[in-house]
Amino acid sequence: MNTSHYDIIIIGTGAGGGAALDTLKQAGKRILVLERGTFLPREQANWDAVEVFQKGRYHNAEDFYDDKDEAFQPEMGYFVGGNTKVYGAAMFRLRERDFECVQHAGGVSPEWPLKYADFEPYYTKAEKLFNVHGKSGIDPTDPPRSAEYPNPPVSHEPVIQDMYDKLRGKGYTPSYLPLGIRLNEADRLHSDCIRCPTCDGFPCLIHAKADADINCVRPATDESHVTLLTNAQATRLITNASGNEIKSVEVESPDGARQTFSADMFVVACGAINSSLLFMQSATDQHPNGLANKSDQLGRNFMKHLNAAMMALSRHENPTVFQKTIAFSDFYFGEKDYEFPMGHVQLMGKSNKHMIAADAPKLAPGFVLEEIADHTIDWWLTGEDLPDPNNRVQLIKGKKYLKYQPNNEEGFNRLRSRWKEVLQECDVCDTILDHKFYLGKTIPLAGVAHQNGTMRFGTDAKTSVLDLNCKTHEIDNLYVVDGSFFVSAGAVNPSLTIIANAIRVGEHLIERL
């Protein structure tokens, strides 16, 4: 068994691991980065909707089990860059009120131990790191900012601009969707991004999407003090005899070979699901229920958002190529006749015939799928699910369980019905259909792109796993920088908050080192 020593070991290269690496590389310390997968292949299939959506080519998670003991595969990608390789790059700040105690129809969204003001400087750094485009001052729920977006908003194509204008004409306040893409609309000749239709849910063949691989990991590995090891799955964190410090990590390659690597500091960023499983796999006599789990909160309070996809089908053709440019928050915290939060609406990437194949039985007879796809505007709706200790990740006799029951659905169901009313009010569609491809039988559980909450942070070690710096309460050199630390989920994409927090924790670690 080979052992090597580093100053810092980072486990995982997604949004959190990548951003932490980008920050920590500045310290000049010896850093080892472990990634269980390889670099995502750069191949023609990156842009093939059949391969990506129907065959799930870039979702390669192992079997998990639900509360009925039935196997399924969560939609996770084990590659350098993690799930950011296929995310839609929607980069929202949580709303300022999301950090407070908020009453929902289905219960209470708890208060965070830190507030928006504590994260604001790091949101600004995260937006710069991930090439975020946007425009402040339009969205009524926008939190205060210390700086404008680093890049101008992504423009709307004509059909989408018409939709935007109609919404504003009806008194609503749509805004530009903040996007992390490497786009230069003022100089398209020198723009990495070409505004293609294969962004949302696809890997980017031309590396023009701002993801953790392209923006963080590859630049860091140019540094002589940073080592990246791929095909290296961390299987166990090994403590000292007293259990208050991690000494090394056990790593397994696909052929079963094992190595151990030691370090002064360990930063875990495997995603909220797999980070908690790693802690459970590392149980010892001092930590019999998993590392740092005296609170019994490890793996609990799993959240992933309430989601729905919706197709607005019109008699008018929609030739839009890059469609994902509108955000809508008017109902985020409720409306005049409804005092509870409802959620968020945003455009999706443009559907094609392969993406709507699962909707075919419900679509109008006599139309071919391609023609129908040419007439849709596609929307993604997000609602907040509340932390529930029974929604949890578990490791039982070596089997990985993800147990989840949706909650707080009243406000979200109202959002769905209200959004259909808004679309009809704006006279932009003739028929509205639920997008079944994205919401098939397994998606309510398998769709874990927004996973968070399994190791909440806080000041009380009896009710949280991590402290305010995202260090475990019980182990002095063990940090977590993915979505595990969330106390509540809000109703916007979590990526930017994960990145901002990872930068915050990284700066704390530099001071400590």
Length of the chain: 513
Residue 5, SS3 per DSSP: strand
Alpha-carbon span 115 to 144, nearest angstrom: 12
Residue 261, SS3 per DSSP: strand
Name 344's bridge partners.
382
Angle among Cα 93, 162, 363 to the nearest 5 degrees reads: 90
Output the pLDDT for position 177: 98
Q: Cβ distance 76 to 69 under 8 Å?
A: no
Q: Cβ distance 209 to 181 under 8 Å?
A: yes
* DSSP-assigned states of every residue in 337-367: TB-S---EEEEPPPP-TTTSGGGGGGSPTT-
Output the pLDDT for position 367: 59
What's the CA dihedral at 499, 505, 509, 512 to 10 degrees?
Answer: 160
Output the pLDDT for position 1: 45
The residue assigned the tokens 């995982």 is 12
What's the CA dihedral at 430, 433, 438, 444 to 10 degrees?
Answer: 150
Q: Cβ distance 15 to 84 under 8 Å?
A: yes
Alpha-carbon torsion (228, 231, 235, 238), positive or negative? negative
Alpha-carbon span 438 to 90, nearest angstrom: 17
Residue 3, SS3 per DSSP: strand
User: Which residues contact residue 366 at a Cβ distance below 8 angstroms, ignoring those fewer than 6 apart?
Assistant: none
Helices (H), 374-473: 409-425, 443-446
Alpha-carbon span 153 to 402, nearest angstrom: 38
Q: Cβ distance 181 to 133 under 8 Å?
A: yes
Burial (CB < 10 A; 0-12, 13-18, 19+), residue 120, is: middle
Burial (CB < 10 A; 0-12, 13-18, 19+), residue 205, is: middle
Output the pLDDT for position 362: 56
Nearest to 223 by CA among 423, 24, 485: 24
pLDDT tens, the chain, 513 aa long: 445 899 999 999 999 999 999 999 999 999 999 999 999 999 999 999 999 988 899 999 999 999 999 999 999 999 999 999 999 999 999 999 999 999 999 999 999 999 999 999 999 999 999 999 999 999 999 999 999 999 999 999 999 999 999 999 999 999 999 999 999 999 999 999 999 999 999 999 999 999 999 999 999 999 999 999 999 999 999 999 999 999 999 999 999 999 999 999 999 999 999 999 999 999 999 999 999 999 999 999 999 999 988 888 888 899 999 999 999 999 999 999 999 999 999 999 998 888 777 556 555 444 577 777 888 899 999 999 999 999 999 999 999 999 999 999 999 999 999 999 999 998 877 677 676 544 433 346 788 999 999 999 999 999 999 999 999 999 999 999 999 999 999 999 999 999 999 999 999 999 998
What's the CA dihedral at 84, 85, 89, 91 to 10 degrees?
Answer: 20
Alpha-carbon span 420 to 401, nearest angstrom: 36
Phi-psi region of 454 (alpha: psi -120 to 50; beta: other; left: phi over 0): alpha
Structure tokens at 194: 């070409």
